[in-house]
Amino acid sequence: MSRLSMTSDFQSLLQDLYSLQRLGIKTGLEHTHQLLDACNNPHKRLKFIHLAGTNGKGSTATFIDSILRTSGLKIGLYTSPHLLRFNERIRVNGIPISDEKIVEFMQVFSVDIHRIESTFFETTSAMAFWYFEQEKVDIAVIETGLGGRLDSTNVITPEMVVITPVSMDHRELLGNDLKTVAKEKAGTIKENILVISSQQEAPVQEIFVQKAAEMDAQLMLVELPDKCTVSTEGTVFQQCGSKYQLSLIGEHQAQNAMLAIAVINHFSEDISENHIRTGLKNAVWPGRFQVLSHDPYIIYDVAHNEDGIRTLLKTVKKIFKKRPIGLCALKEDKDLELIANAIQGHFEKLYVLDDEKELLMDSKVLSSNLNKQGVKAVPLKQIKDFAPCLYDDHPGIIFGSHYIAEPIFKHFQFSFDSGTI
């Protein structure tokens, strides 16, 4: 097949895959099981580490992936959403799935996908399991897409379940209170499987303890670091006399790293302390307190819910003396009342971004709604207009969505998907 023909097939089949988003999100695993049956159930011949939680899943998965790869294992990594290209979601040893493999999967299973009426995420999950089996990975690190109990990834039987901090998000799908959300996340806990969790709020922890007891599963809660310092260069933390360095920035990243260390220590005794240190230091996860510019300081973070935004602003306050100037973009399904509460009083000025692709809330609507919540916000046309808005050493913080990564990275001439991550 010629390169031109391959590119044409890839774009056509990728559009076919994206068109499945019209089917929305289905609650239940029946369609996922049907599609995996058609794929000869690749997930039944793989080993998994399964991650659930509200924030920090991607960073924690990346730490685990990096440490395991450093130790010499072949690792599959499945995360969502992507920042620039669909291929980022499915990786083996840091290398994204090729266009050719995506074309192969879609061509082979297209009839089954449409017969079953599989959703976008059901199809993508099946593709990941199929690809990881083909690549003969030693273990696959799998992040839930939404919730846990009815998430497409919950068809797997993992070696262990990892749960990052749980907070409110996607209330229309997961529930209006923390206990209900926690029950959805706890749905990933399976019989006789080790569960390693971050420290959780009391109502969440109570749910996890109950579920673990029901399933005869061992529940381990990971401690917070003894000491942690953050700067624009990264994060350094200590635990039990050991010192670790991260390129990722924030106390929350040290907590994610602690979770990853606990996972590794329980996964294999053959992985050395040096593997852990090197893997943590080398882990890269763009769009997480990512420094785009040093003069002036401009940071990009995909934080898009109340807890994520509070964590972002806590990190900003630790590093910078002056209040930030913000640029926000949000999807229409976000809870503006909770987000307004999180950002109230934290910004010197706040701008909201126009969205050329119409994936996000209209800037005039967003600014009007934020103003009604007591947060003054002004529409801004383009990313390139943001730097001139900064003054007097106030850092610039761009936040609110994965979907603005493409124009941000294009403007700041940053690319991470040319080979590995």
pLDDT confidence of 23, banded at 50, 70, 90? low
| 24, 65, 366 from 121: Cα distances, Å | 9, 21, 28
pLDDT, mean of residues 390-414 = 94
Helix axes 251-267, 273-282, angle to 10 degrees: 140
For residue 24, the model assigns a pLDDT of: 60
For residue 349, the model assigns a pLDDT of: 98
**Hey, what domains does the chain have and what are their CATH numbers?**
3-282 (3.40.1190.10), 290-411 (3.90.190.20)
For residue 187, the model assigns a pLDDT of: 95
For residue 70, the model assigns a pLDDT of: 98
Report the distance separating Cα 314 and Cα 331, nearest Å. Answer: 23
Encoding tokens for residue 297?
């300081």
pLDDT, mean of residues 145-155 = 90
pLDDT, mean of residues 360-378 = 93
Backbone φ and ψ for 354, nearest 5 degrees, come out as: -70, 150
pLDDT, mean of residues 246-272 = 97
Lowest mean pLDDT among 171-175, 226-230, 295-299, 371-375: 171-175
Residue 421: count of CB within 10 angstroms of its CB: 19
For residue 182, the model assigns a pLDDT of: 93
Lowest mean pLDDT among 38-42, 120-124, 155-159, 357-361: 357-361
For residue 416, the model assigns a pLDDT of: 64
Q: What is the pLDDT of residues 57-106, one digit of tens each?
A: 999 999 999 999 999 999 999 999 999 999 999 999 999 999 999 999 99
219 pLDDT more than 60: yes
Encoding tokens for residue 173?
């799908």
pLDDT, mean of residues 310-338 = 94
Tell me the whole-structure pTM to 2 decimals: 0.94
Report the distance separating Cα 307 and Cα 315, nearest Å. Answer: 13
pLDDT confidence of 157, banded at 50, 70, 90? very high
pLDDT confidence of 173, banded at 50, 70, 90? low
Rounded (5°) CA angle 182-188-190: 125
